[in-house]
Structure 1
């Protein structure tokens, strides 16, 4: 990741095998998202998508808090007649509400405060792990704006209409136990263990056949974004394509020999 000449990088990028580690890195501001952070995050997502060696991302945050939400002092003046463009040239919108869609999965690990765009990153990810003391809030209505990173679309689908409206329309904060109850997150772990658990899950995904993982993700998203019928129509063609892959042969040999498979993504 290229570091800005004006200030330190807002996003850290590291690799753990086939896992891309994307860290929010503005801890002195509770990882509040200014335009620089948003642009760098979009470039990190593009790196995940475009590098064939990468199979999954783990998104996490440095410091005590995942994010306090938008840095309104920096971002609000940039809202123009067409809204707010947070995607750098060559980047991919991390909230998946415009532009290129990711074909690879994202695991997210959150702690401390997780507000607004942080909740929307959870909603746009595929698996979420939260520290037990995490506090969530979709508080845009308290700031005179609406959630514009996909929560109005994904939150009701993920947790049910009433649960979503309970939190989006009041701007109230809620805890990790409530996030787990309504299905916003998939696991709650002891404070300080969220990163390790998130990485464990990301590594498990990375160990599977990447083409199969991407096909599974794509078909599930097709059902949500278009229709069950569209997803059903794509099942058999996807099966035929995958069955002819090198990874399918590797998986079959591993099954017959009862040995671990080492997939190659072909």
Structure 2
């Protein structure tokens, strides 16, 4: 299968399965990954996704420079302006959290996909970079937008303008990845983290995620107002009643997403 999807309870593990091409995305894999993420978003039984790559060397090398990029470039040079929604999700609004389990090199569009995830874990052998200027193009799937929001501006500029990657240790030091996990344990730890999040109130998780992302793009007062609006919305849910009731009764809550 071009994109492997396996469900572990309320967690979807989405694997880019093209190791012979460094898990890069050609048109087929790009479309398939988009479908996988869309199906995860639409499935009420799934609450969190883990995105990773097949093998133990590469998360994803980004767009296939022999197939996807030439086809897109030719369309643009012919006067078209086709959408560039890399991976089928980097330009699509999402409601549910995704975790990137970076099992090796995350380069160009590979890093852009990881940046579009909400949490990033990396193996020690990972490198992270936006290599596009080496090929006389620029990041177009959120790289110039999300990377400066994730790391200091000077470092983001250096990475984007030179195209040079940083290693996992540096990525962890600057906060680009949450933590470094030994490669044999990476997938399991990412799934365990996803399951912890999936065990929280699903409407609260989505509302909190939306509040954080919305707040990044607005001033303080508007961000506070947006948070309060979502706070009230969540307070009105049955899950909010269940959470407090379960705490008082000293039992695990049973959330139903309503």
Shift of residue 68, structure 1, vs aligned partner = 1.9
1:70 pairs with 2:63: yes
| Pairing 1:236-255 to 2, within 5 Å after superposition | 236-255=228-247
| Pairing 1:104-119 to 2, within 5 Å after superposition | 104-119=96-111
DSSP 3-state at the match of 1:118:
helix
1:155 pairs with 2:150: no
Match of 1:233 among 225, 232, 254: 225
Shift of residue 177, structure 1, vs aligned partner = 0.3
1:94 pairs with 2:86: no
In 2, Cα distance between equivalents of 1:201 and 1:126? 12
CA contact (8 A) 1:223 1:229 kept: no
Alpha-carbon distance change, 210 to 162 in structure 1, aligned in 2, over 3 angstroms: same
CA contact (8 A) 1:137 1:171 kept: yes
Q: For the aligned residues, what is the CA RMSD?
A: 1.7
Shift of residue 239, structure 1, vs aligned partner = 2.0
Judge which range, 202-211 or 37-46, deviates more: 37-46
Shift of residue 258, structure 1, vs aligned partner = 2.0
Corresponding position of 1:19: 11
More helix per residue: 1 or 2?
2
1:263 pairs with 2:255: yes
Shift of residue 77, structure 1, vs aligned partner = 2.5
DSSP 3-state at the match of 1:78:
helix
Alpha-carbon distance change, 83 to 112 in structure 1, aligned in 2, over 3 angstroms: farther
Shift of residue 87, structure 1, vs aligned partner = 5.1
Shift of residue 169, structure 1, vs aligned partner = 1.0
CA contact (8 A) 1:14 1:21 kept: yes
1:186 pairs with 2:181: no
DSSP 3-state at the match of 1:223:
helix
In 2, Cα distance between equivalents of 1:123 and 1:76? 20
In 1, Cα distance between equivalents of 2:257 and 2:10? 11
Alpha-carbon distance change, 70 to 84 in structure 1, aligned in 2, over 3 angstroms: farther
- Count of residues in Structure 1 that have an aligned counterpart in Structure 2: 252
DSSP 3-state at the match of 2:239:
helix
List gaps (5 residues or longer) in structure 1: 1-8
DSSP 3-state at the match of 2:122:
strand
1:47 pairs with 2:39: yes
1:176 pairs with 2:168: yes
In 2, Cα distance between equivalents of 1:138 and 1:156? 12
Judge which range, 201-210 or 233-242, deviates more: 233-242
Match of 2:118 among 109, 113, 126: 126
In 2, Cα distance between equivalents of 1:256 and 1:25? 46
* TM-score for both structures, normalised by structure 1: 0.89
Match of 2:211 among 172, 197, 219: 219
List gaps (5 residues or longer) in structure 2: none
DSSP 3-state at the match of 2:60:
coil
